[in-house]
Amino acid sequence: MSTSVLVINCGSSSIKYALVSERREDRIFGLAENLGSPEARIKGITTGGEALELSIPNADHEKALETILERLAHHNPQAIGHRVVHGGTLTKAELLTPEIIERIREATPLAPLHNPAHLVGIDATMRLFPHLPQIAVFDTAFHQTMPSHAYRYALPKFLYTMHNVRRYGFHGTSHAYVSERGSQLAGSFKQGGWLTAHLGNGSSTCAIWNGQSVDTSMGLTPLEGVVMGTRSGDVDPSIHSFLASNLGWDIYKIDKMLNSQSGLLGLSDLSNDMRTLIEAADEGNEDAALAIEVFCYRLAKSLAALSCGLPRIDGLFFTGGIGENSALIREKTLAYLPHFGFNLSKENNNALKRGTEGRIDAGTGPQIWVVPTDEEGRIAKETEHVVAALERPTIKKSEPETEVA
Ligand code: ADP
């Protein structure tokens, strides 16, 4: 990467930022949190790896961005890359024009918590940096290569044609980065059939054939699929009518329960944090042990289901806070998949140093790798590609077209 790109990820009360340049070690990053409250602050890492903590009482998104950008201005970022969760049917990263901003606004009903926050951030950086190219990189874009039999629900057709009700998938930048990096490590860059398991607070799986997503576990929203920190993943959709009829719950209460009170937290009645659950299970907590077992079983089931999208399985990549750090979860999940020929090397699995990439199979069957994700790096790279394409002179029709490497 020859330039530095500022990556911005605006949430409803927080902003994650990273200044991504050529060397990963030089990255400057941080988080502005509690925005709009007296406790608003910025925490991060500055040049040279030093810790930063800055109080910005009552700062809103714009004020926080102003402070972040003031601190980073002397690094002269050449572009800004915005993480945008839902791009509707947009298939790739796009320069932020009034038309693209409108498309992001139109996708708001599909990501009501995320897209409005992204739009606030985009608005602020547009005003603060009118001369810098600003690019939107969508979580959903990578999955736009899914075939219709993978993205359609078995629901009345008009819900798809008139209201865009379909499966979109999320964590696209992570699945794209990890499958690309992983297949490169495996010596078959972007070739073959791979499964990815992104396991963090939000978790999802993906099937990738020759570098393209062919199916994924999340759907219309990031609630579908595997068990997550506080999200239920797949449940019988009739749970809504059951709870409404029997407990008198309204739709908002049910939605909140499924998104914020379920998953590992709901099952264990203790925590959404996998480390806490592993410790508690070790000390004999049966609910924590069950939460871990359901997590691993459902994850294995999802990987097995997604394998139907692949002509063959070359291997599996684990990533995300849990996937990168927990040998136990990797081992338990693979124990449910012996019929796929996965053959984990317990020694390699246990020996893998945290935060490092490495191969953990025993040399037979599909390969198994741990690949730390780099969503910021991927967003920066996609931002650079869009900017480079903008700067490339347009080829006149009369000139012979040369291939651009
Ligand atoms: P996010 O989805 O918010 O980016 P992360 O990818 O950082 O989250 O993942 C957070 C999860 O990773 C938490 O459940 C945390 O407990 C888990 N985790 C981190 N380190 C370990 C570890 N050593 N063993 C098990 N789980 C871990």
pLDDT in tens, 178-227: 999 999 999 998 999 999 999 999 999 999 999 999 999 999 999 999 99
Whether 403 shows a pLDDT value over 50: the answer reads no
pLDDT at 401: 37
Please give the pLDDT value at position 371: 98
CA distance 113 to 22: 33
CA distance 135 to 19: 14
Q: What separation, in Å, do the N-terminal and C-terminal C-alpha atoms of the chain show?
A: 15
- What's the CATH number of domain 5-138, 3.30.70.100, 2.40.110.10, 3.30.420.40, 3.40.50.300? 3.30.420.40
Check pLDDT > 50 for residue 332. yes
Confidence at residue 395, expressed as pLDDT on a 0 to 100 scale: 54
400 pLDDT more than 80: no
- What lies within 8 Å, CB to CB, of 283 at 6+ separation is none
> Ligand 1 in contact with 172 (CB < 6 A)?
no
> In this structure, what token pair is assigned to residue 100?
């693209």
In this structure, the residue with its CA closest to atom 7 of ligand 1 is 321
Please report the sign of the dihedral spanned by the C-alpha atoms of residue 57, residue 62, residue 65, residue 66: negative
Per-residue pLDDT at 96 exceeds 60:
yes
* pLDDT for residue 148 is more than 50: yes
pLDDT (tens digit, 9 = 90+) per residue, 274-302?
999 999 999 999 999 999 999 999 999 99
Q: What is the pLDDT of residues 105-117, one digit of tens each?
A: 999 988 887 899 9
Mutate to test the pocket of ligand 1, among 275, 318, 330, 350 (most ligand atoms within 8 A of CB): 275
Nearest to 374 by CA among 204, 136, 117, 198: 198
Q: Is 277 in the pocket of ligand 1 (CB under 6 A)?
A: no
CB-based burial, 340-366: b 16+ in 10 Å, e otherwise: bebebbeebbeebeeeebebbbeeebb
> Is 60 exceeded by the pLDDT of residue 1?
no
Residue type at 394 in one-letter notation: T
Active site residues: 139
Residue 188 in contact with ligand 1 by CB distance below 6 A: no
For residue 142, pLDDT over 80 is answered with yes
Residue 385 annotated as binding site: no
pLDDT over threshold 80, residue 357: yes
Nearest CA to ligand 1 atom 4: 200
What is the pLDDT, as a whole number, of residue 317?
Answer: 98
- Provide mean pLDDT across the span 138-163: 97
Neighbours of 328 (CB within 10 A): 17
339 marked ligand binding residue: no
**Lowest-confidence pick of 21-25, 290-294, 315-319, 360-364:** 21-25
pLDDT of 47 reads: 79
Pocket probe for ligand 1: among 171, 201, 330, the residue whose CB has the most ligand atoms within 8 Å is: 201
Q: What token pair was written down for 382? A: 């996609």
Task: Find out whether the beta carbon of 202 lies less than 6 Å from any atom of ligand 1.
Answer: yes
Question: pLDDT at position 249, please?
Answer: 98
What residue ranges do the domains of the chain occupy? 5-138, 188-377
Of the pLDDT bands very low, low, confident and very high (cuts 50, 70, 90), residue 397 is very low
Q: Is 273 in the pocket of ligand 1 (CB under 6 A)?
A: yes
Order of strands across the sheet that contains 315-319: 212-216, 203-209, 193-199, 315-319, 367-370, 358-359
The CATH classification number of 188-377 equals: 3.30.420.40
Over residues 10-53, the pLDDT tens digits come to: 987 889 999 998 777 788 999 999 988 999 999 998 877 789 99
